Amino acid sequence: MRDHKIKLFLASFLVLFFELLFIRWLPDAIHFFGFFSNFVLLSCFLGLGIGLARPLKERDTDDALLTRFVLFCLVQMALFAVFLQFEIEVRPPNEGVFLNDDAFIGNREGHIDMYVTLALFTTLVAMTFVPLGQLLQRYFDQFPPLYAYTINILASLLGIAGFSILSFLCTGPAVWVTVGMLLLLPFTKRKPAFALFAIFLGMALYGFEGHLEKSKNYEKYWSPYYNIRFHTEPNGNVYIQIGNSCLLTGLDLSPEKGSEFFRRFYAFPYLFKPHPKKVLILGGGMGNDVAMALQQGAEQVDAVEIDPIVARLGRERHPMKAYQDSRVRLINDDARSYLRRATEKYDLIIFGTLDSHGLFSQMSSIKIENYVYTRQSFEEARRLLAKDGVMYVNVGYMGEFVPIRLFVTLRDVFGKDPAFFIYNQQYSQYICQEASITQDVQVEGEVRLNVNLENARVNMPGALIQATDDWPQLYLNSKTIPKDYLIALGILLLISTLLISTTVRGTGFQFQPQMFFLGAGFMLIETKSITELGLMFGSTWIVNSIVIASILTMIFLANVWLLGREKKPALELPYALWLGVVVLLYLVPLRELSVGGSVLAKMGAVAGISVPLLFAAIIFGVSFSKTKRATSALACNMLGAMVGGALEYSSMAFGLRSLYLTALALYALSFWFRPRDGD
């Protein structure tokens, strides 16, 4: 029995470990998955659900399941290698998903349709996790449901911790795969051969990464957020590429060597605030804005950069070494988090061209920088402006509606029109200050525009919708789910239907609706909690890891409490308490109450957000302890979580607060299908 406990623990650990591995790795090989990362998670849930639902047969030995898992992994790794080696592009039929790739991928003719690629890898990821689900099923069924689930949660918690440590150490796929494969050793009888295979596979991946770096002339780094391809040009300038997009540059901006085009661009805000003493730069990147601030005579420059690898490369490799100047304070944090905490006043606040290409968390479809361009974010920045201070917002030009949306938002925050410029048809620039902006600039490439709001109201009404913390969708033309995502969700639904019907049909699997609706509802509450807590404490990778780990810890503690009670509580009370707290959270935005408040106020807000998760864990634990087939119930819960993850996209149309209402409906359905005494 002790051996079974260890294997249940390891299987549960590896499920979380490999989930995070594929979520991190797939967007490196196929860039568009960076905008669909939670589809990888949903595919994992699909595979696990099928694996848990499909009864084990005599031929499904541990070695057989392990072989299937490894084979599907190898197929995906081979495809990754092909995409990376030949730089195969994946293109959408329109520009709805890719916001800035076309500017950097040039006119390459070879590309694959996005939907075909999505269908292929969604299927492959799901099929990869089916044998892991079956492995989990075998050892889960050896114990009482709640006891096994407690082991599962504890191991999942440590799985997140293990992968987070590897992320902290900035390791890459070669290390991840080697560690993951070696942890599979207890499930095979051919331990020496499998250990050699795991080490050989890791070495092969390491060698392939080295080959790519040499043949394509870049250095590759794995930050906690994404892969970074670092290039050095003959003139000494450097740039960072993420997938197919040039994300950041490190330029020599000195009068002697610097490009006049870029010198004019970075010097632009100083035409409105010459020689500022204190400058805040949000999105410090490699350090271009910092270098220009120093040239303009700034006495103190605070630069906020979320990615530690980008910050390190900027400090060490930027041509002007601006981060090494004693006047500069480099702050490794989320820009929004810093705005909330900061108390200093600045003469100039610069919003750099933030574009993370990363998601808020693996549980969410929201990008990290979305919360930097909301009305609440600009209000927090305005609070930090010194008397006569200037705020400068700069974004890449993205068509017509994004510039107008930013104009309207800044106008609302400052109570007057910002000065709006377009530089070389590439960048939208906004100058905001308390006093009216009267000076007219004469800079080559700069064009000042007037926005006709009445015309926009008639011809482009979506552009007048401001991005807020509840609807942080700067890049959506209107409050709707884009066609690209609807088609992608349809593909996921079709694949799910086909896989479930062909693998589970005829096996005697019994659908358990309560578990299904609990999984869907909990996924939405978990997503909402992560965004709320991320906004309070920052959306850095370590905060997200701690938040997700805290959620699992809460579930674990609820399970331990239930295990200590011979008679489980009735479901009506935790359902009622859950309902009351969620309704309160919908009506009272605890995040706003905690802004600028004391530590006690923030702790109270965190508790308020966490309480429904605790009650949800108790509801699940009580219901799970009564189930007759634990792995079948867990399968339904996984499939429900997949549906909940898909429903999260409804927030694009209705806002994030609406997730509470959707969760309420799902929990109401779960209550209706709850087990009654005598069932």
| pLDDT score for 535 | 76
Q: Is residue 504 part of a domain?
A: yes
Give domain status of residue 239, yes or no: no
Q: Is residue 52 part of a domain?
A: yes
CATH number at residue 102: 1.20.1250
Q: Hunting for tokens 């499939």 — which residue is that?
A: 639
Residues 333, 405 within the same domain: yes
DSSP β-ladder status, 346-351 and 419-423: unpaired
Distance CA 208, CA 174 (A): 9
Contacts of 256 (CB under 8 A, 6+ apart): none
Q: Which of 398, 123, 107 is nearest to 244 (CA)?
A: 107
Q: Please indicate, yes or no, if residue 632 is contained in any of the structural domains.
A: yes
The answer on 584 and 520 residing in a single domain is yes
**Do 460 and 512 belong to one domain?**
no
Whether 592 and 488 share a structural domain: yes
Same domain membership, residue 119 and residue 7: yes
Q: Which helix (H) or strand (E) holds 394?
A: strand 385-396
Q: Are 300 and 277 in contact (CB under 8 A)?
A: yes
Res 438: pLDDT: 59
Domain total for the chain? 2
Is residue 214 a contact partner of residue 208, using CB atoms and an 8 Å limit?
Answer: no
Q: Are residues 520 and 452 in the same domain?
A: no
Residues of the chain below pLDDT 50: 95-109, 359-363, 596
* 447 and 528 both lie in a single domain: no
If we measure between CA atoms, which residue out of 332, 342, 455, 328 comes closest to residue 400?
Answer: 455
Residues comprising the chain, all counted: 679
* Within a domain: 631: yes
Token pair for 15: 């499920």
Residue in the block written with tokens 């890898």: 121
Whether residues 397 and 502 fall in one domain = no
Q: Which of 391, 394, 396 is nearest to 413 (CA)?
A: 391
In terms of residue numbers, what domain contains 158?
2-170+478-672
E strands, 283-345, where? Answer: 300-304, 328-331
111 found inside a domain? yes
The encoded tokens of residue 480 equal: 């709707």
What is the C-alpha separation between 5 and 11, in angstroms, rounded? 10
Question: Domain boundary at 409, 434, 464, which?
Answer: 464
Rg of the chain on CA atoms, in Å? 26
In this structure, the answer to whether residues 290 and 438 fall within a common structural domain is: yes
Q: Which tokens hold the place of 652?
A: 């694009």
pLDDT digits (tens, 9 = 90+) for 317-338: 999 999 999 999 999 998 998 9
Tell me whether residue 56 is in a domain: yes
Nearest-CA neighbor of 390 among 421, 420, 430? Answer: 430
Cβ distance 237 to 263 under 8 Å? Answer: no
Report the alpha-carbon distance of residue 237 to residue 234 in Å, rounded: 7
- Assign residue 278 the CATH number of its domain: 3.40.50.150
Burial of 570 (0-12, 13-18, 19+ CB in 10 A): exposed
Any domain includes 369:
no
What pLDDT is stored for residue 100 in this prediction?
Answer: 38
349, 430: one domain: yes
DSSP state for residue 228 in the 8-state scheme: E
pLDDT, position 482: 86
CA distance 236 to 8: 53
Mark whether 309 and 455 lie in a shared domain: yes
Say whether both 381 and 435 belong to one domain.
yes
Dist CA 211 CA 217 (whole Å): 10
Q: Residue 324 in contact with residue 315, Cβ under 8 Å?
A: yes
Given 464, 491, 513, the domain boundary residue is 464
**Looking at residue 34, what is its pLDDT?**
77
